[in-house]
Structure 1
Amino acid sequence: MAAVSGPDLARFWSLLRDVPVSDDAEFLYGADAAGRLRTENLRRYLELIARNRPRVMLVGEAPGHRGHTISGISFTSVRQLTARPGLITGDPEGDGFRVPPEPAFGWEASSGVVWGAMASWRGPLPLFWPIFPHHPHEPGRPASNRTPRAAEVAAGAPVALALGEAFEIGTFVAVGRKAEAALARHGVPAVPVRHPAQGGARVFTRQLAELNAESTTAP
């Protein structure tokens, strides 16, 4: 049997490298040790997710300093990488992700909520990605988060769209209004769901379960 080729991610990686990053944001996939770890984890994540051909893509806002900024994977903190060896595949030997030797943070609330919702997800796991792919923070405070500016969202949106196109995503789920508005500006309809942060965990989980039920019962 011939091997099934994965998605062509060349354009995604090219666009990701070209996203401009201001002084109050951190470029996550650089050549330093932390950047190389994030890049390796992201490549591994995309490789594993591609095996099951995801139909749904969750598009968030921006990486948080406790999760994505450390792991390199959207909606994923160190706790998800270490609590269950086969996070994506279920393989008891693990999925091959790397963990920083001394991570500044080991847990993020939003990551816990998202992966908690995945525990009952039926069908291929969704693909995760933010509308702005790097870490926006308060000036001089890398261990903080700020809302991405309109210009940052506009610069990051083509990266998300290229990733969705490469995976031939059928359903985009906008986690928060910034992602929804950015996708709409590009003519991409998205199912809006509440962001799990700031008291939105219960609503987010319910909305995601309803979406999953609809997608698995559709003819």
Structure 2
Amino acid sequence: MSAVDTARFWSLLRELPAPDDAEFLYGADDAGRLRTRNLLRYLELIARNRPRVMLVGEAPGHRGHTISGISFTSVRQLTARPGLITGDPDGDGFEVPADPAFGWEASSAVVWGAMAGWRGALPLFWPIYPHHPHEPGRPATNRTPRASEVAAGTPVALALAEAFAVTTVVAVGRKAQGALARNGVEAVAVRHPAQGGARIFATQLAELNVGLAAEG
């Protein structure tokens, strides 16, 4: 397929202000450049199979996305052999920080575990709020994004969905579902895998996949 034009997505992402208790992940420092390269690689690989489903989460977690640059993805997924996206025995070609603070995230494990049985092109992943919200002065924590942050971040997610011509949007959690609905997007809602929701999430996603496969 022709290259996906993500210019508007990147423009909106970089223009979105980050308050003192949230981190912009794709800056000019070493960690930011690594995340950017990983996200570009991820989007390139996902685009090859023309995904029509997008999973929209809540916000980057400090054990996963904040390190990898990719939603619902921790160092464990970056280093998977064979590659989770390509099936390449050498992996998917992602970069790993020299000394990552965390190597594993529960939500990432659940989401990618569910992908092992996914039929068809893998879904596209992205959060409704793209910066990492954390407790003041404690970047190695997570906090729930504010309503204003979710509202401000929604256009970034919608720009990515538009770039990929996504036809089915899946909201992972109520915050994502509500924000999408306020923007005229009727998303399928599934339980967030965190805080005891892993089994329900996996079941709901499997049922959705069966339904989509039946539709062709």
Match of 1:18 in 2: 15
Deviations 1:94-128 (A, max 9, x none): 21100001000000000000000000000000000
Residue 136 (structure 1) shift: 0.1
Question: For 1:48-70, what per-residue CA distance to the aligned partner results, in whole angstroms no more than 9, with x for missing partners?
Answer: 00000001000000000000000
Deviation by residue 1:106-163 (Cα, 9 ceiling, x = unmatched)? 0000000000000000000000000000100000110000000011111110000000
Structure 1 residue 85, shift from structure 2 partner: 3.9
The yes-or-no answer on 1:139 pairing with 2:145 is no
RMSD over aligned Cα atoms: 0.7
- In the alignment, structure 1 segments of 5+ residues that lack a partner are none
Task: Give deviations 1:20-56, integer Å, cap 9, x for gaps.
Answer: 1000011100000000000000000000000000010
Q: Which residue of 2 aligns with 1:36?
A: 33
Distance 1:205 1:86 in 2: 21
SS at match of 1:97: coil
Query: Offset of 1:81 from its aligned partner?
Result: 1.1
> Is 1:104–2:101 an aligned residue pair?
yes
Q: Give unpaired runs (5+ residues) of structure 2.
A: none
Distance in 2 between residues matched to 1:86 and 1:199, nearest whole Å: 28
The 5-angstrom pairing of residues 22-171 of structure 1 reads: 22-171=19-168
1:186 match: 183
Residues 20 and 155 of structure 1 are in contact (CA less than 8 Å); yes or no, is this contact kept in structure 2? no
Give the superposition deviation at 1:168: 0.3
SS in 2 for 1:83: coil
Q: For 2:89, what is the secondary structure of its paired residue? A: coil
Deviates more, 1:146-155 or 1:205-214: 146-155
Name the CA distance, whole Å, in 2 between partners of 1:199 and 1:84: 28
Q: Give SS of 2:121's match.
A: coil
Match of 2:4 in 1: 7
For 2:3 and 2:172, locate their aligned partners in 1 and report how far apart those are by CA, in whole Å: 26
Q: Aligned residues: percent identity?
A: 81
Q: Which residue of 2 aligns with 1:200?
A: 197
- The number of residues matched between the two structures is 216
Following TM superposition, where does structure 1 have runs of at least 4 consecutive aligned residues deviating by more than 2 angstroms? none
Tell me the TM-score normalized by structure 1.
0.97
